[in-house]
Amino acid sequence: MRGCSHSPGAWARKLLSGNEDESATLQCMRTPLRLTVCLLGLCLLLGGCERKQASNGLTPVKLQTDWYPQPEHGGFYDAQIRGYYKDEGLDVTILPGGPYVNSSQEVSVNAVQFAMGSSDYVLQSVGNDAPLVAVMATMQSDPQAVMVHQDSPVRSFKDLDGHAVAIRLGASTWFEYLVKRYQLKNVREIPATYSVANFLQDPGYIQQIFVTSEPFFARQAGVPVRALLISETGYNPYRVVTTSRAFLQQHPETVAKFVRASVRGWRDYLKNPDDINAAIAKLNPAMSVPQMKFSYEALRDQHFIAGEDASGADLGRFDPARWTSMYQQLLELKVITKPFDPAIAYTLQFLPKGS
C-alpha cells in the first residue's frame, strides 16, 4: 500500500465538488489503524463544513459505515454523489469505518445519526439496553461465509468438527449457532487477521470471510477456493442502518428523507455502478478496479442487496418474521438473556411500500 501524502480535507472537498484531479487522490496508509486514522481525519475535516452548509437550508447528518469505502457501501455514495440526499434537503457526511470503530456506540451518543450494522448485533445491543433502532436494510441476505481451499475435506458445516476456524474478534455469534446446530464437539476458534496471507500459506486453513471480498484475493494469488455461506444454515441476519431511539423520535422526517434517498441510491447503484466505483476508488485507493468489479458483481448476482425478487421491490425492506426468528435464535444461544419484544429493535415506518 502507499503512504498518505496529500491533505485529506482538500482532496475530499475537490472530490465532492466534482473535481477529479488525479494528483489530489488520497493515498492508503500501510496498516488498518493508520488508514482508519487518516480516513477519520478526512471525515472530521468534512464534518467541519456541516454548519456552513446548514445555513443553505440543508440538514447535516452523518452516516458511519462498517468498513473502509468499498462497493458494499455503493448505494450511499451514489445518493451522496448524485445529489439524492441534497434533493431531500440533507447534507450527509459518510464516515469510513474499520476494525477500531464502534458504530453502535457512536449512534447511541449521537456522535453520528446513522450507522451500518447487522440485525443480530442490533438485537443483542437492544437486549443490553442500547437505544438502537434499525430503519432500513442494506442487504437482504448476509454475505458472511467460511472459506476453505478447493481440495479441503470440509464440504459442509458438519465437516468443521476437528478443525480450527479463524474468526474476527467480536463476530462469533454465528459460530456459536453453527456449533449448536451441527453439534460440533471438536471445533475451535482462532483469531483472524484482516488478510488472506495465512490462508494462502496453509492448505488446511479455514477462515471467516465475506464472499464479496476475500475470495477475490485468493483467486488472484492462484489459489482456488470454496465458500460455505452461513445464511444457508438458517442464520441469516439483515445488514442494516440504525439510528438512536431518541433521534428517531425527535427527527422522524430526517430519518424518512435519509432512508428514501438511500434506497434510491442503492437502486441506482445496482444499475449504474461505474462512476460511483471510480469515486470510491479515490476514497480508498487500496481498492483495485478488478476487486471492485468482483465485489459489485457478487453483490448484484447473488442478490445480497435487493433480494430474490427480480423487480427489486424488497430493496431496503424488513420482514418482521425474520426479525422474530433471529431473536429466537439469539435467545436459544443465550446471547440475549432478558426477553423483550423484538419489534422495538426495528421500524417499518420509513420503508418502501409494496404488495
From first to last of its 355 residues, the chain has per-residue pLDDT tens of 233 323 233 333 333 333 333 333 333 333 344 444 344 444 443 444 333 445 579 999 999 999 999 999 999 999 999 999 999 999 999 999 988 888 888 998 999 999 999 999 999 999 999 999 999 999 999 999 999 999 999 999 999 999 999 998 777 899 999 999 999 999 999 999 889 999 999 999 999 999 999 999 999 999 999 999 999 999 999 999 999 999 999 999 999 999 999 999 999 999 999 999 999 999 999 999 999 999 999 999 999 999 999 888 999 999 999 999 999 999 999 999 999 999 999 999 999 875 3
Structural contact between residues 155 and 227, judged by C-beta atoms closer than 8 angstroms: no
Grid coordinates representing 300 are 448484484
Instruction: Return the SS3 of 259.
Output: helix
pLDDT value, residue 54: 56
How many other C-beta atoms are found inside a 10 Å radius of the C-beta of residue 227? 17
pLDDT value, residue 86: 98
User: In Å, what is the CA distance from 36 to each residue of 30, 46, 232, 255, 262?
Assistant: 10, 15, 33, 27, 24
**Rounded to 5 degrees, what angle do the CA atoms 73, 265, 131 make?**
65
pLDDT value, residue 354: 57
Neighbouring-strand partners of residue 167: 191
Q: For residue 31, with 0-12 CB atoms within 10 Å meaning exposed, 13-18 middle and 19 or more buried, which class applies?
A: exposed
pTM of the model: 0.84
